[in-house]
Structure 1
Amino acid sequence: MGLLVLFLALVFFVGILVGAGPSAESDEGLRTYVVQLHPRGRMVRSVYPSEMERHLSLLREAAGLTYDGDPSSRLLYSYRSAMSGFAARLSEAELDALRRSKDVISVRPDVQYQLQTTYSYKFLGLETGSEGGAWMESRYGRATIIGVLDTGVWPESPSFDDHGIPPAPRRWKGTCQEGQYFNSSNCNRKLIGARFFIKGHHVASSPSSAEDVSEYVSPRDSHGHGTHTSSTAAGVSVPMASVLGLGAGVARGMAPGAHIAIYKVCWFNGCYSSDILAAMDVAIRDGVDVLSLSLGGFPIPLFADSIAIGSFRAMESGISVICAAGNNGPIPNSVANEAPWILTVGASTLDRKFPAIVQLGNGKFLYGESMFPGNRHGKALKELEVVYVTGGDRGSEYCFKGSLPREKVRGKMVVCDRGINGRTEKGQVVKEAGGAAMILANTEINREEDSVDVHILPATSIGYSESILLKAYINSTRQAKARIIFGGTVIGKNRAPEVASFSARGPSLNNPSILKPDLIAPGVNIIAAWPQNLGPSVLPEDPRRTNFSVMSGTSMACPHVSGIASIIRSSHPKWSPAAIKSAMMTTADITDRSGKAITDNGAKPAGLFATGAGQVNPTRAINPGLIYDIKPNDYITHLCTLGYQASEMLAITHRNISCKSILAKNRGFTLNYPTISVTLTAKTRQKRIKREVTNVGEPNSTYSVEVGAPEGTKVRVKPRRLVFDRINKRLRYRVWIISKGRRGNGFSEGHLSWVYQSGGISYTVRSPISVTWKHK
């Protein structure tokens, strides 16, 4: 990422003076404007080496009329993706000059956006009081129960207040298990159940490893993760919420009317399969409708996967199981929780940023982000000497505890490479060594990921490209200097959603005939409830307390979809887990808020192995038109087609299965999945896929097929029209994916959509097609 993109990143930095000249407060007569330019043509490219240089040139020409200082100091950000142009603070004379320029399309005043805390509900289109919206249709998820397997809960959080929440449904058989600092009175009509499962953890943990760890032997949350995820799924509306002043607004979960049941299965050294299975076993009997598991790692065979095994039974009981895809991206084949009866969720970004720009002593700017409480719009840290301590064997570049010599870092801004130890822990090490500030630098594995933290000292996080520029600057001068310029909270100034770099990727390692992950949902810099026993940095030394904090990961994406599943279940209580899953997948968004293709970490367009069916859209999912339903026995037939042995089938399905007889009765079987994934080889040059859709939209409706054939293939569909004369009618169709002679290995993508439009009502039921080529 060059300087052009660095200035592009400053799009998030609204209305802040970022130069060495007068402060924003003293620049009388200046206002911030967005200047949109004609795209660069060949002649423009020959004159200006970058968009940034073009923008600076135009600003200098305009500012030279009235301004004695360096006009570049008032360039706030430079755009090249969402539009061609820049933002700057301008005088009236400069404004007039730019408006007369032949290069300028328009000049618009900067617009202030209202901020909201758990902003993802609004980003996903869930609006309070919107007529016909998903919340109104589902009564905010009422009468549904979401079971959350995690680290427990902090019941006193305002997100779990039960004002206006009805009593638990009569079918609920759960309990509020008492334990350390937790009793039955901690449950209410919102938090209707809480249990903890510790036996597996207890026997696996040595006594010495537990001595220094403060852990509640009860459903009470010692870590914050469970409180955060459960409130994301179904937290009630909390006004005037913020993280120590940042992200101020209203906090609200995806299904604020749903009930929550907590199953604490994760402890200080992890989550054990024995405890997980015990919790799932109890949750099925308790009567939950949705199980949310922000758990998982690398993919393992289904017959060895406790979550896959437990969730099969949950699915048979009509429970939707939602799981995190894992945080091992962007490595291919890294997606966890691959079972086809699980809804597997990857992570995407929001259009909310917390800019904290690094201004180097040479005048260059590096985009960064931070939730340090001092991050206030227009504030800047004074210029400090910046140091990057390397050499030796103590891990000083990673800022390990005891690795930073006080004489080298005291009073300075310290660069710490990301990795190995915790991000906020690095800041604590810097502070203990006498450092005044920190720049957390991404390494190559993290690329441009921008997860933020509530740092305990002035700090910002920068991407890998920025870190290369920073270190080059430090090495180029005898005394490097920098300052951090804070931008507060900014919404709507960047493209979103994008796939998070850490989000695990397909293709599925153990079952490539199923496209995984299934969906993506917001999972970067998510603000949700937080326990009062922890500071927001999760450091023991952090004395600060707040009801909300920020976290990133597919752990955060998972409860978004769990809450949306609860909304759909509330609106359609007779739908199966497969139907609910289909509704979300076939209506998912494949473009960002600007109407362009969703990108992968801000770079190239994201592939199906990153997005699955796309970004979940609850407004469309609640009324999908058609659904792909799957019965439990269909999953068994599918497993037989994969060649599982009888013992493995027993482990997964809890049944004695004769695959030979099942396959004899189901020749040519393909699972009725909402996406299509096939492998073509030199010998297998075509595949036939069978699907069945159920009408849940208009009683009398005719759907026409639209196909985007993957590169190198021809796609035939019969029939090409589906005519329904009633609700719940089922119709079948067949798809042939035929190779056109492509050679070599690789992947190609396409789609198949059934489209209905009549009298202002329209449905687009979209299924991605993934083709894997194996010709070598």
Structure 2
Amino acid sequence: MENWVRVLLFLCCLVTVGFAAISSDGETKTYIVHVDRSQMPAAFLSHENWYASSVKSVLGVEDEVSILYNYEEAFHGFATRLNAAQAAALEKMDGVLGIYPETIYELHTTRSPEFLGLDAVTAMQPDGPNYGQDVVVGVLDTGIWPESESFNDRGLGPVPLHWKGECEVGTKFKATVCNKKIVGARFFSNGYEAAVGPINETAEFRSPRDQDGHGTHTASTAVGSEVIGASLLGYANGSARGMAPKARIAAYKVCWVGGCFSTDILKAIDKAVADGVNVLSMSLGGGIAPYYRDSISLGAFGAMQRGIFVSCSAGNSGPDAVSLSNVAPWITTVGASTMDRNFPADIKLGNGMIFGGVSLYHGRQTLGTKVPLVYQSSNSSSTGGSPMNLCLTGTLDPKTVAGKIVVCDRGITARVAKGAVVKAAGGAGMILANTEANGEELVADCHMLPASAVGQKEGEAIKKYIKSTPNPTATILFKGTVLGVKPSPVVAAFSSRGPNIVNPDILKPDVIAPGVNILAAWTAFEAPTGLSNDPRRVKFNIISGTSMSCPHVSGIAAIIKGAHPDWSPAAIKSALMTTAYVLDNTGKTLQDAATANASNAFDHGAGHVDPKKALNPGLVYDITADDYVEFLCSLKYTPAQINLITKSNATCRNTLHSPGDLNYPSFSPVFSVPSNSSSDIVVKYTRTLTNVGPAGSKYNVTTVHQSTEVSTVVEPQTLYFAKTGDKQTYTVTFTGKPLPVVSGLLIATFGSLTWSDGVHDVRSPIAFSWQSADSF
């Protein structure tokens, strides 16, 4: 069997990270309160008065009402401070649908326009290369550094008429720093400050200004203006620009030194919807919860209802399976890949052997000729019994490492922090070796001392050499920037993987995009390493993460929205997914950096985004808000749970036989295998395609790649679309063999289905899964 994957999948036990259980103690915490606005008593003139009165009724006589936020657009309700007993009392009141503790999310942390073929997209714009100039992309992150050249507004027309946002004044942030590129900037800190206390304005700005750099980087990746001669200390030199350089940016600062708080995130989404954003980009997440208890999922649904495309990072918990976040079907979930650019820094050992590594160290091209080499494994802890040198603070003996190149193992602390520890101990350089968790993935860093990162196999070979000789030596050869790397793209090892534990019938991630070694704008407040003892300041930085891949898709979505303003968020997602590719620049299946083997749909989703093809997909799988309601009904959610998401008393028409019947651009049939069964298992889905190409288009099912364990039948096999906008429906029947499955263990294999008219190939990935019926 090919492409088999075995992972633990606990379908009956959704793991909720970040939610605190309501306890009986008197500690005051922040809660998000879901409210049915239609149940407001007539005695109240406004919802705000009703909310305040409700809270007052459960407080003690001496307690003061603290309403942190009122939510009105993407979500209905409010955030407040209560103890556990007060929260329990409030939850019983009429009109309260649910009450949940604050959740803390975390950040998921140029050549990409050329690599993605955006130069070719320019020629496809019917009115010239406008790159979505009337589209506003809202970025929820750490804020923005408005002085960056990436946010210049040269050549931009007036601010779009539909925009209602503004630039909020705050610490070292004046309204005048906004322009025709940065059309809005806000900050949200009530939830954060309620939990941790007032902001320390020596460490961070109480304003939209970005002290961290992450938000500036993601915003410029999505829509940054062109900057000629951009680089990080000479690395990746060239013209830097975002995916949609003519689109506008609205920065919503929701992440602080202490994290990204759900109350602040939800209010930012609420305000972004009211302001008039067209695309929302969120490179943050964390935790797994049902859709009605996930703040990002709830806010994103409200945005989708208003026609806003929402993209989120998949997470950086790969290569472990079942590690995704942001998996709601109305969100576009983005994993990370490499590009064909690298920054080689080879390791040459004293015995003449050379091993490939990467680095962004700015200094001497060669570190001596034969520098002493050491691996101080005896001074560090181990996991699983293997000796390791994690180069944690205080673990290196200066007498042992001074003047030497130190081999450090990756893990626990930041990669650049290990280099700082080596430098502080007097080390001459560092070789950072991957462990099994990272495999052969190579991520370059702007180290403070000569350093190079190597894969696990290379690291083991270097350690073996050290043991083999009494006087091991090495040097590091820094080779600058190299283009045309093969194979590429490759799925990043850190990119979070499926299956989707919240709902395995929806395949996630949706797509992958560049997220490794991405050059983009940076804050002048923070060093490129983010370390307090790093005095360097740069205008551009190179960092990695699904945080970097998400804004690539957000920017591409802005281009598509600009070219097709009437397309729904689901249509844009479909265009991105069905035109994505799964072959690298050597003609082979996209490789997984963690294993160096072929990746699969749990790793890369539909594949790697292709902007040029996404602008003209031929057909799309469209989904309306009502369709998502039917999806929620098929999950057997209660009316109250559905109301939490949709903000209305929806009626289930039960048009979907199962969650997998949602008109999604991918398939993820789950075969439930009864004990001791020998009968085949049949899963049948219906899909509807909408023609966004020329009239008179005729499509045939040209390829149905499947495993030997599944047979697939598509009916009909030809679809004819008389005019643009026509819709045609087909059914696909998957018949799977009753494979022997141990309870709780998922087995999966993969395939795809493609419709083609000879010009457009509309491809859907398929993940076939077998699950013991005893697990449901």
TM-score (norm 1): 0.81
Equivalent pair of 2:324/2:497 in contact (CA under 8 Å): yes
> How far did 1:393 drift?
6.2
> How far did 1:645 drift?
2.4
Alpha carbons of 1:270 and 1:243: their partners in 2 closer, same or farther (altered >3 Å)?
Answer: same
**1:104-150 CA distance string (max 9 Å, x none):** xxxxxxxxxxxxxx101111111178532x69766212100000000
Q: Does 1:383 align with 2:370?
A: yes
Q: Does 1:305 align with 2:294?
A: yes
> How far did 1:367 drift?
1.4
CA distance in 2, matches of 1:604, 1:164: 46
CA distance in 1, matches of 2:535, 2:173: 23
- Equivalent positions of 1:228-267 (< 5 A) are 228-267=217-256
Residue in structure 1 matching 2:497, options 486, 491, 505: 505
CA distance in 1, matches of 2:159, 2:772: 57
2:375 partner letter: Y
3-state secondary structure, aligned to 1:563: helix
Equivalent pair of 1:138/1:567 in contact (CA under 8 Å): no
3-state secondary structure, aligned to 2:757: strand
2:689 partner letter: V
Residue in structure 2 matching 1:735, options 714, 732, 735: 732
The equivalent of 1:495 in structure 2 is 487
More divergent stretch after superposition (601-610 vs 519-528): 601-610
CA distance in 2, matches of 1:741, 1:300: 30
Q: Does 1:321 align with 2:310?
A: yes
Equivalent pair of 1:508/1:514 in contact (CA under 8 Å): yes
CA distance in 2, matches of 1:526, 1:320: 23
3-state secondary structure, aligned to 2:123: coil
3-state secondary structure, aligned to 2:720: strand
> How far did 1:497 drift?
0.7
- Equivalent positions of 1:97-136 (< 5 A) are 118-127=110-119, 131-132=123-124
3-state secondary structure, aligned to 1:431: helix
3-state secondary structure, aligned to 2:762: strand
Q: Does 1:219 align with 2:216?
A: no
> How far did 1:300 drift?
2.2
Alpha carbons of 1:668 and 1:321: their partners in 2 closer, same or farther (altered >3 Å)?
Answer: closer
Residue in structure 1 matching 2:623, options 627, 630, 650: 630
3-state secondary structure, aligned to 1:140: coil
3-state secondary structure, aligned to 1:397: coil
- Equivalent positions of 1:658-677 (< 5 A) are 658-659=651-652, 662-663=653-654, 670-677=661-668
Q: Does 1:366 align with 2:355?
A: yes
Equivalent pair of 2:311/2:334 in contact (CA under 8 Å): yes
**Count of residue pairs brought into register by the alignment:** 647
The equivalent of 1:588 in structure 2 is 580
Residue in structure 2 matching 1:286, options 271, 275, 282: 275
> How far did 1:179 drift?
0.5
Residue in structure 1 matching 2:527, options 505, 520, 535: 535
- Equivalent positions of 1:370-769 (< 5 A) are 370-374=359-363, 376=365, 379-392=366-379, 397-601=389-593, 603-659=596-652, 662-663=653-654, 670-682=661-673, 685-706=681-702, 707-740=704-737, 742-744=739-741, 746-757=747-758, 762-769=759-766
Residue in structure 2 matching 1:159, options 150, 153, 166: 150
> How far did 1:213 drift?
6.5
**1:751-771 CA distance string (max 9 Å, x none):** 1111002xxxx0111111211
3-state secondary structure, aligned to 1:444: coil
Question: Could you say which structure has the greater relative contact order, defined with CA pairs below 8 angstroms and 6 or more residues apart?
Answer: 2
Alpha carbons of 1:280 and 1:220: their partners in 2 closer, same or farther (altered >3 Å)?
Answer: same
Equivalent pair of 2:361/2:445 in contact (CA under 8 Å): yes
3-state secondary structure, aligned to 1:460: strand
Q: Does 1:170 align with 2:161?
A: yes
2:428 partner letter: A
CA distance in 2, matches of 1:305, 1:188: 34
TM-score (norm 2): 0.81
> How far did 1:546 drift?
1.5
CA distance in 1, matches of 2:400, 2:174: 51
Equivalent pair of 1:298/1:326 in contact (CA under 8 Å): no
Equivalent pair of 2:380/2:389 in contact (CA under 8 Å): no
Unmatched runs of 5 consecutive residues or more in structure 1: 1-117
| Overall identity of the aligned pairs, in % | 48
> How far did 1:652 drift?
2.1
CA distance in 1, matches of 2:484, 2:143: 34
Equivalent pair of 2:379/2:396 in contact (CA under 8 Å): no
> How far did 1:742 drift?
4.3
CA distance in 2, matches of 1:583, 1:623: 8
> How far did 1:430 drift?
1.4
Equivalent pair of 1:127/1:135 in contact (CA under 8 Å): no
**1:686-729 CA distance string (max 9 Å, x none):** 11111111111111111111222333111111111111111101
Equivalent pair of 1:710/1:770 in contact (CA under 8 Å): no
Equivalent pair of 2:486/2:586 in contact (CA under 8 Å): no
More divergent stretch after superposition (169-178 vs 739-748): 739-748
CA RMSD of the aligned region, Å? 1.9
> How far did 1:607 drift?
0.7
Equivalent pair of 1:141/1:567 in contact (CA under 8 Å): yes
CA distance in 2, matches of 1:247, 1:739: 49
CA distance in 2, matches of 1:743, 1:451: 40
Alpha carbons of 1:412 and 1:320: their partners in 2 closer, same or farther (altered >3 Å)?
Answer: same
Unmatched runs of 5 consecutive residues or more in structure 2: 1-109, 383-387, 675-679
3-state secondary structure, aligned to 2:131: helix
1:288 partner letter: V
CA distance in 2, matches of 1:155, 1:600: 37
**1:142-166 CA distance string (max 9 Å, x none):** 1000000000111011100000011
CA distance in 2, matches of 1:472, 1:644: 56
Alpha carbons of 1:403 and 1:394: their partners in 2 closer, same or farther (altered >3 Å)?
Answer: farther
CA distance in 2, matches of 1:717, 1:421: 51
CA distance in 2, matches of 1:143, 1:585: 24
More divergent stretch after superposition (729-738 vs 438-447): 438-447
CA distance in 2, matches of 1:393, 1:699: 68
The equivalent of 1:90 in structure 2 is none
